[in-house]
A and B are shown apart, each in its own frame.
Chain A
Amino acid sequence: MRKIFFSLLAAGLLLAGIFGAIQSAHGQDVVQPEGRELVLREVDGENVRELWAPVGAAVPDAVEVLSNFTTNTPYCYQPDPAKDECFINWYSIYADSAPDNIRTITTTLTSKGIMASYKGFFQTSMYISYNMAGQGYRVECGALGSGGVPTLGKSYAWNIKVEDATGYWISHSGTIYCPAYTP
């Protein structure tokens, strides 16, 4: 009897652990920033852009605020087809938060962490060109179809976030697909 009880207890604890892990993993999709609330969210396929504001803050024209931050042409290329080496970059990133100053812009590859952090210095706009990241961020190209698209290689989720001095956040997210490594 005691054996059965301990077995059931162990199984219960195991299941609770598994479901707890699943829940925390699921929660990573939409991170609720502390002290901020979602004002506007636009979705176009795998591309998402969001405006977050401090809780209780007066929200100006959200659409206009959202349009003041542009991320152009995320891309992935394979310079040498003999190597499983691709580079991810963005053609340009531009933010305008006038009259408020820009605090930071961070670029993140979800599987790699934060790749770059740009700080504002008494400035209301910021332009980040592709050549500021050298060749781009080195990643594995991956096998054909490994990212979910049969004609391409691995896929990488990315996020770019701008924060201004008043605490507004604008977040751009998407998924970039790399050419496949086919030796």
Chain B
Amino acid sequence: MTPLKDRTKALGFGCILICLALILSPPSSRIAAQTSKPRALAIALQTAASGIVLPQSSGAPANNTNPQHRISTGWDVEMPEISDMDSMTPHCHKLQPRTDICYINWYDIAVQVDDPLSITSITIKIDGKMRANYQGFFQSNAYISNKSNGLGFQVSCGYEGADGYAGLGYRHTYAISYVNSLGNGELHTGYVRCPANNLLPVYLPLLSKQLFMRTISSKSLHVSRLVSIAGMR
């Protein structure tokens, strides 16, 4: 046998061994290896967003296709079977046409903890910024109606297609968390897309490229400003 044939034979044998090892290794370990880093990062980001300290062995569901997450924090078990907090129907609406003012709200938010625990606080963050703080007063349940925050939490609607969806504007992320008297809690995260502000299509022909770029880089678009720009042209 020539040395070339020996080398070919050894290479073929090596390939067969690697293939066998890949086939026989448990699939779960391969998936874990692929998802452990993104999952850890997601939990860390969500924790940072809520300000809650998560246990290291948190059993948060890692569902990359679903933008909404629910994480329970500080409990001995990985995830309670029954959730303590409901945050129903996050939505974004534009109350006046041709404005860049939208409002994010929820149909309702309800928290119920078992006696003798009490609610310490419920907080709402939008785009990483704290927008509301609700505190408990000797109470084990709290209900927050959509009307209790006035019109809702004001955000910028954004220009059409800002997030890649026709008719819709910016996507805003939110995090709702509650903490009970033991320091445990729950975190709900997700996002809502707002209706587009419908300002640009009307005035586009009147804007130069420079002005257009400057305008879309600004998040606060107002009819009056655009009208004045159009008037300048």
Interface residues of A (CB under 8 A from B): 42, 44-45, 47, 49, 70-82, 87, 89, 91, 130-131, 135-136, 151-152, 172, 174, 176-180, 182
Contacts and interface: CB of A to CB of B under 8 A. Distances in A.
A51 B138 CA distance: 15
Interface string B114-147: 0000101010100001111111111100111101
B115 to A, nearest CB: 13
Given A91-B144, A131-B147, A77 B138 contact: no
Contacts of B143: 72-73, 91
A35 to B, nearest CB: 27
A81 B137 contact: no
Contacts of B142: 72-73, 91
Given A89-B148, A91-B144, A75 B132 contact: yes
B133 A176 contact: yes
Contact of B132 (A49, A76, A151): A76
Interface residues of B, number: 30
B135 A176 contact: yes
Nearest to A149: B133
Contacts of B135: 73-75, 174, 176-177
B61 interface: no
B58 interface: no
18 contacts: A72-B142, A73-B139, A73-B144, A75-B132, A75-B135, A76-B133, A77-B150, A77-B153, A79-B149, A79-B151, A79-B154, A91-B134, A130-B147, A131-B147, A176-B135, A177-B133, A179-B130, A179-B131
A87 to B, nearest CB: 7
A80 B219 CA distance: 14
Contacts of A72: 137, 139, 142-143
B51 interface: yes
A81 B127 CA distance: 11
B129 A81 contact: yes
A75 B148 contact: yes
A152 B153 contact: no
Contacts, number: 92
Interface string B139-170: 10011110111111110000000000000000
Nearest to B150: A135
B149 to A, nearest CB: 5
B180 to A, nearest CB: 12
Contacts of A82: 220
A174 B120 CA distance: 12
Interface centre among A73, A80, A87 (most CB of B within 10 A): A73
Contact of B130 (A70, A130, A152, A172): A152
Given A152-B133, A179-B129, 14 more contacts: A73-B122, A74-B135, A74-B137, A75-B134, A75-B144, A76-B132, A77-B132, A82-B220, A91-B142, A135-B150, A177-B135, A179-B131, A179-B133, A182-B129
B132 A78 contact: yes
Contacts of B51: 151
Given A79-B150, A79-B151, A91-B143, A42 B131 contact: no
A121 B153 CA distance: 37
A75 B133 contact: yes
B136 A73 contact: yes
A103 B220 CA distance: 49
Contacts of A45: 120
Contacts of B149: 77, 79
B175 to A, nearest CB: 13
Given A72-B142, A77-B149, A151 B130 contact: yes
A180 B130 contact: yes
Interface in B4-48: none
A164 to B, nearest CB: 20
